[in-house]
Structure 1
Amino acid sequence: MVKDGLPNLMKDLRTLVQSHLPALSGRHRHAKRGFSILTVLLSLTLLASILVGFASVVQNRTSRVAREVQAAQGELSAEAGIALIVASLLDNAAHEESHRRPADGTPYACTLDNGTQLFMVAQDVAGRIDLNTASRDLLQALFDKQADPEKSAALISAIESRRRNDGFRMVQEFAQLPGVDRDLYAHIAPDLTVYSKRPSLDEASARQALRTRLARTGIAKDIAYASSADGLKFEIDVIARTAPGRGYRATAAVEIRPGHMPAYHILFWNGHPFRSESLPPPYDGWLAGAGERQVASCTSS
């Protein structure tokens, strides 16, 4: 009986297992399908993160390249501005002396074909106060109203001390003297040079703002203006504004050589990116005095 019941028991167990296999197999398939969906979602999340990071890298690199292109455009435009000024100075030198336009530091502006605005100044060095040779009276008049008497005396003493040593090789060295802050330098520097080699000024070449300031000090005209124009050496300043608040500024001192090759010689050159919404002296007063100026094309006749 037991012998006969054992096969029946095995048969019943086999039937029971087989009846549950479809259900077990279905749960396995659902679990497998769920795992596959989770894997896909994780992969998509990872891919999205990679794409976002890549887009950020591309955007940063694109912005950096755009800034570099803009900086290069500003530098080249400033150099073009200096070339325009030199050409104008050479043309002016070709005229009779009585018909030459004075290079008195009056700003002017024009727009290049690429949209860059050029703000430019050209001035005969005789219209500026030479840090190495200007008389004490002229220096006192220069600092009058710009500094109190004690500070003014200290500045003149520092200038004279520098002269007894190496002297000034460039105007920028004036900023290194004790007591010269950024504001004082910004207002004084446009009227300084190291290339005049004169104790006084040529009145026709001096900026109107400097002439007005000196007149208020009471300095005698025969002390302030006892020199004539140099006619060959000039201080040049160019700001190339490529966008609001951005651009490039180049300053140079040149000596023109009419009838010779090369036609001019660079005595000094300095350039740097320009970051400011407003223009510095001497352009600020020039713009304010004329309101909204219409800037013509640099190539217009």
Structure 2
Amino acid sequence: MNRQQGAALLLVLWLVVLLTALVGAFALTARMEALQGRVGNRGAMTQEIARAGMEYALVRVADRNPETHWRPDGRAHAWSFDGHDVQVRIIDETGKVDLNQADLPLLSRLLQALGQPPGDSDALAAAIVDWRDADNLSQPVGGAEDDDYAAAGRDYGAKDAPFETIAEVEQVLGMTPELYARLAPFLTLYSGRSQPDAAYAQGPVLVAMGVDAAAWLAQRNAGGINPQLVGTGSGTYSIESRARLADGREASLWTVVRAGASPVPGSAYTLLRWEEGAAPP
């Protein structure tokens, strides 16, 4: 009898230990899920605040009041949303170099403005033109057609068609990841112009255009260069919005948007590009 009672007591103790472990594990799991939910909620909120910055920029760039209007020339604007800090930059796409429209000299000068030697810049600019043109003839200063890609061990040749994305230029023979990271912010597919609009261009693009960038930017930032109306631009913009909560959490958003009628009902703009949380492109 005593042995049976002892065995029963031992079994009860083991059950108590097991139940305690199960309750503890459940409590820990519940706590972790609550923390994860809180982190996810804060992250989603920060991202939505960054999106609010993007949409607010569209409102301000369309504002015809010179006192409250934002010109799409790349300068940073500070904004507060519900007590949280947001920094927004908006750039008109006509201030960039159009990959499908720019000629070889402009592309080469842009590469030189970013630190590439003239000879290398000419060759790479020629390869960019060869990628998009319809023929299989290399440019006089170099370039790259199908045979050149094959000789370099690439299993593809020149596309011989227009660029469809900015990232596509990474496939051009001679392009490197480091150079692409420096070049991409100054490229567009949406301006339709052979020459950028200096009213909205950034430093390297101005240099490529043969403009004294330092003097031009100083004059523009001082309000000495006034586009027509209040500089609303073409209606197609790159927008960078960075949100920061009071607890230090941050979120970033990069978009290219076309203001105006949208195929999406109720939307005042069309999204052409959208990227969250990582440097463009």
TM (normalized to structure 2)?
A: 0.67
Change beyond 3 A, Cα 1:248–1:220? closer
**What residue number does 1:3 align with?**
none
Q: Structure 1 residue 167 and structure 2 residue 157: aligned?
A: no
**Counterpart Cα distance in 2 of 1:231 and 1:48:** 67
Change beyond 3 A, Cα 1:54–1:157? farther
Change beyond 3 A, Cα 1:51–1:181? farther
* Equivalent position amino acid for 1:48 in 2: T
CA drift at 1:167: 1.3
**What residue number does 1:220 align with?**
210
CA drift at 1:252: 1.9
Change beyond 3 A, Cα 1:45–1:177? farther
**Counterpart Cα distance in 2 of 1:178 and 1:67:** 43
- Equivalent position SS for 1:146: coil
Q: 1:266 aligns with which of 260, 267, 270?
A: 270
Q: Deviations over 1:132-184 (max 9, x none)?
A: 11122221111114334565344323321332233123323334444444433
**Counterpart Cα distance in 2 of 1:67 and 1:76:** 14
**What residue number does 1:112 align with?**
81
TM (normalized to structure 1)?
A: 0.64
- Bigger helix share: 1
**What residue number does 1:299 align with?**
none
**What residue number does 1:59 align with?**
31
**What residue number does 1:22 align with?**
none
8 Å contact from structure 1 (residues 86, 256) kept in 2:
no
Change beyond 3 A, Cα 1:263–1:65? closer
* Equivalent position amino acid for 1:271 in 2: E
Q: 2:125 aligns with which of 136, 156, 159?
A: 156
Change beyond 3 A, Cα 1:58–1:150? farther
Change beyond 3 A, Cα 1:245–1:153? farther
**What residue number does 1:237 align with?**
240
* Equivalent position amino acid for 2:74 in 1: G
8 Å contact from structure 1 (residues 235, 254) kept in 2:
no
Q: Deviations over 1:209-265 (max 9, x none)?
A: 644xx2xx7x6349xx9x9985433222223345646424231222347xxx98943
**Counterpart Cα distance in 1 of 2:69 and 2:39:** 41
**Counterpart Cα distance in 2 of 1:151 and 1:240:** 39
* Equivalent position amino acid for 2:77 in 1: Y
Change beyond 3 A, Cα 1:142–1:73? same
8 Å contact from structure 1 (residues 104, 123) kept in 2:
yes
Gaps of 5+ in 2: 134-159, 217-226
**What residue number does 2:150 align with?**
none
8 Å contact from structure 2 (residues 242, 250) kept in 1:
no
Q: 1:86 aligns with which of 43, 53, 58?
A: 58
- Equivalent position SS for 2:63: helix
Q: 2:44 aligns with which of 47, 54, 72?
A: 72
Gaps of 5+ in 1: 1-27, 282-301
Q: Deviations over 1:55-97 (max 9, x none)?
A: 33223322332333233223322221121011111113x66xx
**Counterpart Cα distance in 2 of 1:137 and 1:39:** 86
Q: Structure 1 residue 130 and structure 2 residue 98: aligned?
A: yes
Q: Greater CA radius of gyration, 1 or 2?
A: 1
**Counterpart Cα distance in 2 of 1:114 and 1:46:** 48
**What residue number does 1:38 align with?**
10
Q: Deviations over 1:171-207 (max 9, x none)?
A: 2333444444443333222221112222222222112
Change beyond 3 A, Cα 1:155–1:209? closer
User: What is the number of residues matched between the two proteins?
Assistant: 232
8 Å contact from structure 2 (residues 237, 258) kept in 1:
yes
- Equivalent position SS for 1:205: coil
Q: Structure 1 residue 103 and structure 2 residue 103: aligned?
A: no
* Equivalent position amino acid for 2:241 in 1: V
**What residue number does 1:188 align with?**
183
**What residue number does 1:139 align with?**
107
| Aligned Cα root-mean-square deviation (Å) | 3.5
